[in-house]
């Protein structure tokens, strides 16, 4: 069908147990991943904790996509390893999701396309093209990298062309010959850019998993 009524994503019930001194850090982490707070309960005294400290159970609902990559690592880091978590499927929810397409040298790379929340699309697109610029090897021609939504470009970077000194063996002051060599190089680069295939390293695809984290 040409018209999509809505896009739904899986949401999870998330339970986190940690010492109460980490409540603020946990809330910042989960809400930063589009999580919504459900409730908080204090648990029984734990003799392994510091005096006056208690364990707390925090419950949230959060999109599965926000948990897939480094959420657990971030949770452990922010709680110095004291937090534990449990999760279960809640439901599918319609949301404002958009597809961000990536074009390398004006060619769409399907494997680099990502489905993200509309509120984060600009940030994700910009982050991805910046990472790709640093990962894609330089060519003999400039390589444009674009992020687009439905044909509208939202971010752009370029991998600069390698420079070859075509005048290195051109001795003397023959300006006309030098100009011809430079024009020939320029025409050659245009031709390469038109027909050239850009090799995208594996790291570029892995970088997708770390977008916005």
CATH number, position 72: 3.30.70.240
Q: Is residue 80 scored above 90 in pLDDT?
A: yes
- In a shared domain, residues 22 and 82: yes
In a domain, 175, yes or no: no
- In a shared domain, residues 122 and 202: yes
Helical segments of 83-120, H only:
none
DSSP 125: H
Q: What is the mean pLDDT of the chain?
A: 83
Q: For residues 90 and 101, what is the distance between their CA atoms, to the nearest angstrom?
A: 29
Domain range holding 91?
7-95
Mean pLDDT of 139-145: 85
Q: For residues 133 and 102, what is the distance between their CA atoms, to the nearest angstrom?
A: 12
- In a shared domain, residues 136 and 150: yes
In a domain, 185, yes or no: no
In a domain, 176, yes or no: no
3-state secondary structure of 40: strand
Mean pLDDT of 7-18: 95
Task: Give the CATH number of the domain where residue 117 resides.
Answer: 3.30.70.2570
pTM for the whole thing? Answer: 0.63
How many independent structural domains does the chain possess? 2
Beta strands in 78-207 (DSSP E): 84-95, 97-104, 107-108, 114-117, 143-149, 152-159
Torsions phi, psi for 4 (to 5 deg) = -105, 120
Q: Which of 77, 95, 113 is the C-terminal boundary of a domain?
A: 95
> For residue 13, what are the CA distances in angstroms to 91, 96, 142, 180?
9, 20, 47, 68
User: Residue 209's pLDDT is what?
Assistant: 63
Mean pLDDT of 119-133: 90
Q: What percent of the chain has pLDDT over 90?
A: 43
Contact by Cβ (8 Å): 119, 63: no
In this prediction, residue 163 has a pLDDT band, given cuts at 50, 70 and 90, of low
Q: For residues 33 and 64, what is the distance between their CA atoms, to the nearest angstrom?
A: 10
> Of residues 115 and 167, which shows the higher confidence score?
115
Residues 22-78 have pLDDT tens digits of 999 999 999 999 999 999 999 987 777 777 788 999 999 999 988 987 899 999 999
């Amino acid at each position: 069908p040409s018209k999509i009524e809505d896009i739904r994503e899986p949401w999870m019930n998330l339970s986190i147990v940690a010492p109460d001194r980490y409540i603020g850090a946990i809330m910042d982490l989960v809400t930063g991943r589009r999580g919504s707070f459900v409730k908080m309960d204090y648990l029984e005294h734990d003799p392994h904790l510091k005096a006056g400290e208690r364990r707390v159970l925090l419950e949230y609902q959060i999109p599965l996509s926000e948990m897939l990559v480094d959420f657990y690592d971030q949770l452990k880091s922010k709680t110095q390893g004291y937090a534990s978590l449990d999760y279960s499927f809640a439901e599918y929810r319609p949301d404002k999701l958009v597809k961000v397409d990536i074009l390398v040298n004006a060619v769409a790379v399907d494997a680099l396309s990502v489905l993200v929340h509309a509120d984060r699309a600009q940030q994700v697109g910009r982050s991805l093209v910046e990472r790709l610029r640093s990962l894609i090897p330089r060519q003999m021609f400039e390589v444009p990298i674009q992020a687009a939504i439905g044909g509208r470009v939202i971010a752009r970077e370029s991998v600069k062309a390698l420079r070859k000194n075509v005048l290195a063996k051109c001795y003397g002051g023959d300006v006309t010959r030098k100009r011809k060599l430079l024009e020939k190089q320029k025409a050659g680069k245009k031709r390469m850019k038109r027909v050239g295939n850009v090799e995208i390293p594996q790291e570029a695809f892995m970088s997708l998993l770390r977008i916005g984290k």
